[in-house]
Amino acid sequence: MEICVLNGSPKGEKSVTMQYTKFLELANPDHSFHTSHISQKISILEKNSTEWEKVINTIQKADIILWAAPVYFQHVPAQYKRFIELIFEKKVDTLFSGKYAASLSTSVHFFDHKVHEYLQGISEDLDMRFVGSFSAAMEDLLQVKNQVELTAFGDDILSACESHRPVIRAYPPVPELIREYNPGVIQDSVDKGDKRVLILHDSKSGSNLEKMVKQMSSQFSGEIDIHHLDDIGIKGGCLGCAQCAFDNQCIYTDGFCSFWENKVKPSDIIVFAGTIRDRYLSSAWKQFFDRSFFLGHIPRFSGKQLIIMVQGPLASVPGLRENLSCLISGGNLVDFVTDEPGDDACIDALISSVAMRAVRYAHAGYRKPPMFPQVAGHIILRDEIWGNLRSVFRADHKYYKSHGLYDFPHYRYKKRISLFFFSLMMSIPSIQKKVKPVMKDHMIQSFTQVFTTSNVLKNRNSKINPGLNTK
């Protein structure tokens, strides 16, 4: 059987992901594995038709396609994303039809599920038969137990192809949204005061996104920064070299890091504006996010208000909304705005509302309480940086230590001592008998002090915000 491995790591053969595919190849000597280093050669594949045809011929002859990629910034690397865009641009999508597909990733399990969700959705869009995914921690292969599991995964996808296993689609097709947005005239702008606004976009001339960007920019009084992703000096995607881990210095000498330092970092309100392309934003946006990894795992948007503006059917790609929501990294997501409503006035009102709220939140320093993805994500990164990553990611370790992000429960010594004695007391049957009938009362007892009139009014008055007057 012919297996085509599409390697998504920019590091080529020297990637951790490739060690897993090599193991699968050694474990299945009766089958032929053919690996194409997609991300490492993406620039060549875009420009050199001969090299492109080599990859396409390998795909065409294959019985099984194995999407293999590391997790870069909660998704596949930008170079891999660009390859998927090229499949549709060059109209070779029909060559994938009917083939069996599976996905394999390596990571620290930080949003790895979004990678497999995306690759399965893409496989189904290509009319492939997706039969499984395998998400490994980077060092899993060093343990015999995980070697056995990886072998079983390989056996399963081979068996699926040999037996023509039936599959059902997990993700419906993404509908094409065709409508023209014609913005109205802005009557009043929002006085942003001393807050700095940055709008980043990748719009095409005459597109709905371009019109939405102009409408958004008109909402704010005074000067704001507007930049197209093509104009900020990015020469390439993240190489995964991790050389930035020691001191947050990127190996690239292009204009990206200076742009971040001079434009992104000082901004109080940032608008990300992009167009949906095959279940994500463009590869240009993915490249922007990937390159911000020169800051490591540091919350890069702390104290900022973020608006995400999307052209395309966002409601039909719920996984994308979740993914983008979790890119905020310490900031506050004000809201999403899309061109999905069929009413131009409705889109205008959405843009006006989100701009006003962004200014209000910026003056108040407001941040919504984080929910499960952000809380769980923080715990994963905290533990990894304290543990396996600390020796290399020195800049992360220094930041986490100085900003109190090593918030391990076992550091709370007073709390641990009180819980110890409380647990000891609660183990006595006679005390349990007394406590059980009044459990609900005890659960809310400590909140009584919050509800004094003076305390509530004091906090209410502190939330009165400037910056909302219109001109």
Same domain, 223 and 322: yes
pLDDT tens track for 228-255: 999 998 999 999 999 999 999 999 999 9
pLDDT of 454 reads 63
Q: What is the pLDDT of residues 246-280, one digit of tens each?
A: 999 999 999 999 999 999 999 999 999 999 999 99
State the number of CA atoms in the 13 A half-sphere of 239 facing the CB: 13
Q: Residue 325 region, left (φ>0) first, then alpha (ψ -120 to 50), else beta?
A: alpha
The C-alpha atoms of residue 263 and residue 226 are separated, in whole angstroms, by 10
Q: If residue 155 lies in a helix (H) or strand (E), which one and from where to where?
A: helix 144-162
pLDDT value for 470? 39
Within a domain: 454: yes
- Distance in angstroms (rounded) separating the CA atoms of residues 407 and 349: 41
Question: How many Å is the Cα radius of gyration of the chain?
Answer: 25
Residue 295 lies in a domain: yes
Here the CATH number for the domain that contains residue 92 is 3.40.50.360
Burial of 190-212, coded b for 16+ CB within 10 Å and e otherwise, reads bbbbebbbbbbbbbeeebbbbbb
Reported as a single tens digit per residue, the pLDDT across 365-375 is 999 999 999 99
pLDDT of 471 higher than 50: no
- On whether both 437 and 303 belong to a single domain, the answer is no
Residue 384 lies inside a defined structural domain of this protein: no
Based on the fold, state whether residues 158 and 240 are members of the same structural domain.
no
Domain region containing 281:
197-364
Identify whether 128 is part of a domain: yes
Q: How many domains does the chain have?
A: 3
Residue 267 is assigned to a structural domain of this protein = yes
Question: What is the rounded CA–CA span in Å between residue 4 and residue 129?
Answer: 14
Cα–Cα–Cα angle for 87, 88, 92, nearest 5°? 60
The domain boundary residue, chosen from 146, 162, 178: 162
- Render pLDDT for 421-437 as a digit per residue (tens, 0 to 9): 888 998 999 999 988 89
Do 119 and 202 fall within a single domain? no
Confidence of residue 415 (pLDDT cuts 50, 70, 90): confident
pLDDT of 116 above 90: yes
464: CB partners within 8 A, 6+ apart: none
Decide which of 295, 329, 364 is a domain's last residue.
364
**Residue 216 and residue 142 share a domain:** no
> Which residues fall within 8 angstroms of residue 85, CB to CB, at 6 or more apart?
277, 278, 282, 283
Within 233-331, strands assigned E span 269-275, 305-311
**Residue 169 near residue 207, CB atoms below 8 Å:** no
**DSSP labels, 317-369:** -HHHHHHHHGGGTTSEEEEEEES-SS-HHHHHHHHHHHHHHHHHHHHHT--PP
Confidence of residue 464 (pLDDT cuts 50, 70, 90): very low
Task: Check whether residue 329 and residue 459 sit in a common domain.
Answer: no
Statement to judge: residues 214 and 358 lie in one domain: yes
List pLDDT tens digits, range 150-161: 999 999 999 999
Indicate the SS3 state at residue 45: helix
Task: Band the pLDDT of 466: cuts 50, 70, 90.
Answer: very low
Amino acid symbol at 365: G
User: What integer best gives the mean pLDDT of the chain?
Assistant: 93
Burial 117-129 (b: 16+ CB within 10 A, else e): bbbbbbbbbbebb
Check residue 445 and give its pLDDT: 83
Amino acid at 127: D
pLDDT tier for residue 462 given thresholds of 50, 70 and 90:
low
How would residue 467 be classed by pLDDT, with cut points 50, 70 and 90? very low
- On whether both 231 and 299 belong to a single domain, the answer is yes
What does residue 13 show for φ and ψ, rounded to 5 degrees?
Answer: -60, -25
Residues 436 and 304 placed together within one structural domain of the fold: no
DSSP 261: I
Same domain, 109 and 154: yes
Per-residue confidence (pLDDT) for residue 278, from 0 to 100: 94
What is the distance between the alpha carbons of residues 295 and 182, in angstroms, rounded to a whole number?
39
Cα angle vertex 311, ends 117, 469, to 5°?
120
pLDDT tens by residue, 177-211 = 889 999 999 888 999 999 999 999 999 999 999 99
Cβ atoms of 183 and 347 within 8 Å: the answer is: yes
Residue 463 CB neighbours (<10 A): 10
- Report how far residue 124's alpha carbon sits from residue 456's, in angstroms, rounded to the nearest whole number: 53
Q: Is residue 173 part of a domain?
A: no
CB atoms under 10 Å from CB of 72, counted, come to 26
Q: Examine residue 187 and state whether it is found in any structural domain, yes or no.
A: no
Within this chain, do residues 11 and 137 fall inside the same structural domain, yes or no?
A: yes
388 found inside a domain: no
Helix, strand, coil content of the chain in percent (nearest 5): 50, 15, 35
Q: 286 and 353: one domain?
A: yes
| Mean pLDDT, residues 286-311 | 96
